[in-house]
Chains A and B, each alone.
Chain A
Amino acid sequence: MISRAKAITAVLGAMDERDFIVCALGYLSRELYAQTASIRGRCLYCMGSMGSVTPTALGVSLANPGVRVLALEGDGSLLMNLGALATLRRYGSALTRLIVFDNGRYESTGGQPCQPEGFELERVCDAAGLLTTVARTEVQIAGFLADPEARVLVIKTALGGRPPRITQSPTAIALAFACELRAAGREGANPPVRGRPR
C-alpha cells in the first residue's frame, strides 16, 4: 500500500509534461490541487459530479486525439458509474488512461466501506476488456505510465491525510483547462466554454 499523497506524487513525477488530468472529487482532487500549483491549467479538479471523471476525460480525449488524458478516479466514484468502463472500452484509446485510487472506502465522508470484502476492482476493469495492472509502489505507477498499451491502473492506497480545500472557482478551473488544451494545439473555431446557462 501507498499513501494517497505519495501515489499522486508518483503519478505527477511519471506523467509526460504534455498530459492532462481530470480528477475525481473529494480528498483526491484536494490532494492533487495541493501538489499541482505549477500545472494548474492541465488539471480539471472536480468538486462534485461523482462518477463523471472517466467520461469527462474521454470527452476531452476525443476532442483532442493527440493528447493523453489521465482520469484519476476514486474507487467509490468509479463504482458509481461502472458503465463508464464499457464506454471507455468502446470509444477510448490508450491515450485515455484510467487511474483508480483504491482504498476501499468513502474516505472524504468519514471512511465508510464502499466495497464488499474480497472485491477486486482490478478484475472488474480487466473483465471489461481494459488492460489493467495493480500498483502498490511508485515504481509500478511509473511503469504503467511508461507502457504505451496500458489502459487502467488500480493503485492500492492507504487511508490518511486531509488535504486543504480547493480555493479556485470551478469556472476558473474549467477556463484555464480549456485554454491550456487550446494552447496544446487543437485547431477549432469554437470558444472553449460559454457562460453558465440561465
Chain B
Amino acid sequence: MPSEAAVDRMLSTFRELGLDWLLTVPSTGLQRLYGSYESIGRCLYATREEEAIALAAGLRLGGAFPVVVMQQTGVGNAINAVLSLADAYGIGFPVVVLDRTVDDPNLVQRVSSGGTARVLSALGCIEIDWELPDQAHRMRTCIEDDIRWILCPMVGSG
C-alpha cells in the first residue's frame, strides 16, 4: 500500500499539472486521491480499465485533461483501447499504473507484476516512485513529451 506521503505527492503533482479528471478502477490505498477528485465531482469509477481509457479519450477530445490510474492487473484490459483509440487517434493523456511489484505477498500479483512490467517497458513507459520526493518534474516531462505509460512501484501493497 502506498504511504500517505506518496499519495499526497501524486495528488499535488496531478493538480499542479492541470489533470482535471481522474478515471480509475479502484486500487488499494488511494482513497485520499479519489476523495480529492470526488470532492469536485471529477472522479469516475469505470467498470473495466479499457472503459476508463475510452472515458478519458472522450474527455480529452472534449477539451478536458484527464489522467487514468489503474493497478498493474488492469493493463492487459486497457491495451487495446490505448492502442486502437488513444494512440491511433493521437489523443494524449497519461496512464498511471500502480505496480504491486514482484515482491508482493500475493503470489499471483508477483506473476502479474513481472509480466506487466515487461509489456510496459516495450511500450516505452517511464518509472516514477512516489515514495521518493521531487517526482513532479518526472511526471511533467512525461506530459510534455506525450509519454503515455507511467509505471509506479507500490512496494508492500496488498
Interface residues of chain A, those whose CB is within 8 Å of chain B, are 22, 44, 46-64, 67, 81, 83-84, 86-87, 90-91, 170-171, 173-175, 177-178, 181-182, 186, 188, 190, 192-198
How distant is the Cα of A59 from the Cα of B52 in the complex, in angstroms?
9
Give every chain A residue within 8 A of B88 (Cβ-Cβ). 47-49, 170-171
A62: nearest chain-B partner, CB-CB: B59
Are A175 and B90 in contact, with the CB atoms below 8 A?
yes
Which of B48, B84, B89, B147: most chain A Cβ within 10 A?
A: B89
CB distance from A118 to the nearest CB of B (A): 26
How distant is the Cα of A31 from the Cα of B91 in the complex, in angstroms?
24
Are A49 and B84 in contact, with the CB atoms below 8 A?
yes
**A-binding segment of B8-16, B61-69, B132-140:** B61-69
Are A59 and B92 in contact, with the CB atoms below 8 A?
no
- Is B100 interfacial (CB 8 A cutoff)? no
Binary A-proximity of B47-67 (CB < 8 A = 1, otherwise 0): 110111111111111111110
Give every chain A residue within 8 A of B18 (Cβ-Cβ). 190
Give every chain A residue within 8 A of B76 (Cβ-Cβ). none
Are B91 and A63 in contact, with the CB atoms below 8 A?
no
A188: nearest chain-B partner, CB-CB: B63
- Is B30 interfacial (CB 8 A cutoff)? no
- Is B124 interfacial (CB 8 A cutoff)? yes
- Give 9 A-B pairs besides A55-B51, A55-B58 with Cβ atoms closer than 8 angstroms: A46-B85, A51-B54, A55-B46, A55-B52, A56-B54, A59-B60, A90-B45, A193-B89, A196-B90
Give every chain B residue within 8 A of A195 (Cβ-Cβ). 90, 92, 146
Interface residues of chain B, those whose CB is within 8 Å of chain A, are 18, 21, 44-48, 50-66, 80-81, 83-85, 87-93, 124, 145-148
B20: nearest chain-A partner, CB-CB: A190
Which of B65, B87, B90, B147: most chain A Cβ within 10 A?
A: B90
Are B91 and A181 in contact, with the CB atoms below 8 A?
no
How distant is the Cα of A96 from the Cα of B152 in the complex, in angstroms?
34
Which of A53, A171, A196: most chain B Cβ within 10 A?
A: A196
How distant is the Cα of A177 from the Cα of B58 in the complex, in angstroms?
10
Give every chain A residue within 8 A of B44 (Cβ-Cβ). 62, 87, 91
How distant is the Cα of A182 from the Cα of B93 in the complex, in angstroms?
18
A173: nearest chain-B partner, CB-CB: B89
How distant is the Cα of A87 from the Cα of B56 in the complex, in angstroms?
13
CB distance from A134 to the nearest CB of B (A): 25
A82: nearest chain-B partner, CB-CB: B47
Give every chain A residue within 8 A of B83 (Cβ-Cβ). 48
The 8 closest A-B CB pairs, nearest first, are: A59-B58, A63-B62, A83-B47, A194-B92, A48-B84, A52-B54, A197-B148, A55-B54
Give every chain B residue within 8 A of A198 (Cβ-Cβ). 124, 145-147
Contact residue among A60, A81, A173 (Cβ-Cβ distance under 8 Å from B62): A60
How distant is the Cα of A91 from the Cα of B48 in the complex, in angstroms?
15
